[in-house]
């Protein structure tokens, strides 16, 4: 009888432990925010926009630009609100022609990463463009790392997934860049809309992706290879086509450092709180 009771107790403990593990929050942290989501508001009033984000509980920011201000001014506003900038987005031309100025601004902001989100081009993205991009990223990435201690990240935008050899030109860029100086930010919507699986992309290159844009694509929106879609196709997380839980699990396994909500929709003010609630409510 004693052994039977002991066995039952151990069984109950095991069941309770398994239940607890399955009901642990999948995404316990508060996500970061890409300034591009609130771009219109930031353009009008940086201080008031930061107040709005602070009230939502946002601390981690990725600034897409300086909105006509100096880096030190934005840093002061962030410090006053207990917020911080982890990533600083710049244009491809600025990365290559103003590398040290970019590094200095990022350093002032307190950013650990500098990010480029688009390679200007006409027509189909070509191997020649990918070759040049990889070379430029290696060169600028070395300066940012060696002189400023900052990691460069390239943010995919869909058009890079042109078939090339046994993969795509995105694979080429990842493989031809030096992992010491070049990392990546995965935009899960732009990956998905070109027919890629973000889970597989992250898993194929463990350690290369440091940052992630949290986005979802409206159900019924067509996939395409243009690297663009109507802004109205950005929807609150969990209401679209992407398998957010599986992507988050893959990202955690890969050690991705920062997660930012990016919502380009005109309905962002309504959708951002929805997305935050969805992430908080997710369970393993």
Q: How many CB atoms lie within 10 A of CB 223?
A: 13
Give residue 224's pLDDT.
78
Exposed/middle/buried for residue 222 (C-beta within 10 Å: 0-12, 13-18, 19+): exposed
Can you name the CATH fold of 28-281?
TIM Barrel (3.20.20)
Is residue 214 within 8 Å of 31, Cβ to Cβ? yes
Cα dihedral value 210, 214, 219, 222, nearest 10: -50
pLDDT digits (tens, 9 = 90+) for 153-163: 999 999 999 99
pLDDT digits (tens, 9 = 90+) for 66-110: 999 999 999 999 999 999 999 999 999 999 999 999 999 999 999
Alpha helices for 1-159 (secondary structure H): 2-22, 39-44, 46-55, 71-80, 92-97, 99-109, 127-148
Residue 63: alpha-carbon gap to chain centroid: 12
- Sorted by where each begins, the domain ranges of the chain are 28-281
Sole residue written with tokens 């890629």: 196
pTM for the complete prediction? 0.91
């Amino acid at each position: 009888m004693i052994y039977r009771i002991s066995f039952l107790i151990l069984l109950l403990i095991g069941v309770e432990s398994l239940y607890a593990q399955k009901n642990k929050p999948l995404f316990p942290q508060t996500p970061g925010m890409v300034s591009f989501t609130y771009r219109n508001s930031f353009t009008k009033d940086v201080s008031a926009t930061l107040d709005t984000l602070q009230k939502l509980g946002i601390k981690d920011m990725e600034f897409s630009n300086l909105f006509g201000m100096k880096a030190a001014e934005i840093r002061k506003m962030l410090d006053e609100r207990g917020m911080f900038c982890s990533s600083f987005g710049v244009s491809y031309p600025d990365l290559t022609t103003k590398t040290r100025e970019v590094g200095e601004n990022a350093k002032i902001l307190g950013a650990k990463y500098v990010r480029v989100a688009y390679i200007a081009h006409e027509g189909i993205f070509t191997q020649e463009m990918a070759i040049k991009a990889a070379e430029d990223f290696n060169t600028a990435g070395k300066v940012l790392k060696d002189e400023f201690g900052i990691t460069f990240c390239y943010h995919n935008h869909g058009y890079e997934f042109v078939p090339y050899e046994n993969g795509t030109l995105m694979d080429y860029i990842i493989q031809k860049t030096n992992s010491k100086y070049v990392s990546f930010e995965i935009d899960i919507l732009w990956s998905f809309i070109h027919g890629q699986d973000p889970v597989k992309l992250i898993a194929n290159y463990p350690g290369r992706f440091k940052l992630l844009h949290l986005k979802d694509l409206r159900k019924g929106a067509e996939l395409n290879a243009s690297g663009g879609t109507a802004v109205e196709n950005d929807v609150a997380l969990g209401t679209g086509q992407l398998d957010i839980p599986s992507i988050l699990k893959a990202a955690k396994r890969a050690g991705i450092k920062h997660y930012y909500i990016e919502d380009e929709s005109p309905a962002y003010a309504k959708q951002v709180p929805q997305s935050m609630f969805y992430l908080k409510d997710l369970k393993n």
